[in-house]
Amino acid sequence: MLVIVAPGQGAQTPGFLTPWLEDTTFASRFEWLSTVADLDLAHYGTEADAETIRDTRIAQPLLVATGLIAALELFPHPADAFSQIGAVAGHSVGEIAAAAGARAITAEQAMVLVRERGNAMAEASAVTPTGMTAVLGGDRDEVLAALAAQGLTAANDNGPGQIVAAGTLEQLQALADEPPAKARLIPLSVAGAFHTEHMAQAVGRMATLARSVSTHDPRTPVISNRDGQIVHDGREVIARIVGQIARPVRWDLCMETMSDLGVTGILEMPPAGTLVGIAKRALPGVETFALKTPDQLDDARAFCAKHGEASMIETTPTWMMVVSPMKGTFHRDAEAAEVGILAPGATLGDVASSRDRAAIHAPHGGQVVEWLVEDGDLVSPGQPLVRLHPEGAA
């Protein structure tokens, strides 16, 4: 099982794009996305200094554009990608790249969304001086207690031994003055307290824009930052990306889902390194590949071929699937079990685990062709639950 992941803000470094732009095809595609974003991203990725590309309005479009074009270099024929990738995930703004890679939205829609996301988050950051600090090591409960004592948010929960605190600069300084035992604090090169209440005004702006975005159900399961659940409804993918601006990133739960899926290989898109580093600690035995420069592309393709297999979701014009968002026990709704045609949004039941319970709906409705699981069955993330024939289809 191969999972492709896209990094979030803070992964960028000065000049990281230089070797990629030596390829004329990459450069022309990158120029197109730069035009959509209305930014000279080639300049920012090759010549700008660290402080300049720290700007949220620059960093976010730069990261998403790089991930999207690098994906086309890795998989020149998109059909090859869908036959190998089991799931995709992105950390924070990387979710936009993941959504476009899974074909929930187009690359152009992704660039408009990330441009406006960066602008909205920069405006929200300007209201109050805020920031983020990585807390490495220490006892998890003690770290969380220390954050709570200073009024800070655990904005990124990246797995064992890595939590990112976010809040005002005064709150972060107070944490630095009284750090948790056996923990190391590293201030991050970001411009605000992302994924906290300080970003609430950005959520409102993005929610308004998102209502006009046309979506498709993703061709590949998308693992959500909110709770690690598999999302296979295009509208929900976008809604979660918008809401996540002011909600903590639960990358720990994303990795838990990867483990449940049976991942054997994780490839991180450029500028790579951060997420595979986390995976090496949290998912021992899983092979990783950090795609940093174009001279690695042949090795990266070999890595994908070694671990690749198509996801359990098979998208065709005739059939539609409703899939499980997570690992757990499926409980079928009694009414849904008796009807032959499901209305759009109909409840199918839920999946329950020791951690959570998720309601299952049929977003588009349709005629029930076949239940693929029974009431009480154990299911995996992304496992098809029912096969539907869309109403009105020939």
Which pLDDT tens digit goes with each residue over 73-100?
Answer: 999 887 778 889 999 999 999 999 999 9
Same domain, 37 and 99: yes
192 part of a folded domain: no
pLDDT at 317 over 80: no
Q: Read off φ and ψ for residue 319, nearest 5 degrees.
A: -105, 150
Query: What pLDDT shows up at residue 129?
Result: 94
**Mean pLDDT across the stretch 12-30?**
96
Same domain, 109 and 224: yes
315 part of a folded domain: no
Q: How far is 196 from 193, CA to CA, in rounded Å?
A: 6
Same domain, 164 and 77: no
Q: Do 41 and 26 form a contact (C-beta atoms < 8 A)?
A: no
pLDDT band at 391 (very low <50, low <70, confident <90, very high): low
Same domain, 133 and 277: no
- Amino acid letter, residue 336: A
Helix axes 24-37, 56-74, angle to 10 degrees: 140
157 part of a folded domain: yes
**DSSP codes of every residue in 221-251:** -EE-TTTS-EE--HHHHHHHHHHGGGS-B-H
Query: What pLDDT shows up at residue 393?
Result: 45
Which of 262, 284, 307 represents a domain boundary (last residue)?
A: 307
Domain count, the chain: 3
Reply yes or no on whether 83 is catalytic: no
DSSP at 343: P
Full residue range of the structural domain in which residue 142 is found: 126-187
Output the six-digit token pair for 309.
């297999």
Catalytic residue among 92, 125, 224, 324: 92
Average confidence score pLDDT of the chain: 93
Which of 307, 339, 365 represents a domain boundary (last residue)?
A: 307
28 part of a folded domain: yes
Alpha helices in the chain, H assignment, sequence order = 24-37, 41-46, 50-53, 56-74, 78-82, 94-101, 107-127, 140-149, 169-177, 200-210, 234-243, 251-261, 274-282, 297-307, 334-338
Query: What pLDDT shows up at residue 314?
Result: 52
Lowest pLDDT segment from 42-46, 295-299, 316-320: 316-320
Q: Do 70 and 291 form a contact (C-beta atoms < 8 A)?
A: yes
213 part of a folded domain: yes
Catalytic residue among 195, 198, 232, 361: 195
Same domain, 352 and 301: no
Q: Do 212 and 238 form a contact (C-beta atoms < 8 A)?
A: no
**Mean pLDDT across the stretch 338-347?**
91
CATH number at residue 247: 3.40.366.10
CATH number at residue 145: 3.30.70.250
Q: How far is 289 from 276, CA to CA, in rounded Å?
A: 7
Helix (H, G, I), strand (E, B) or coil at 153: strand
Reply yes or no on whether 77 is catalytic: no
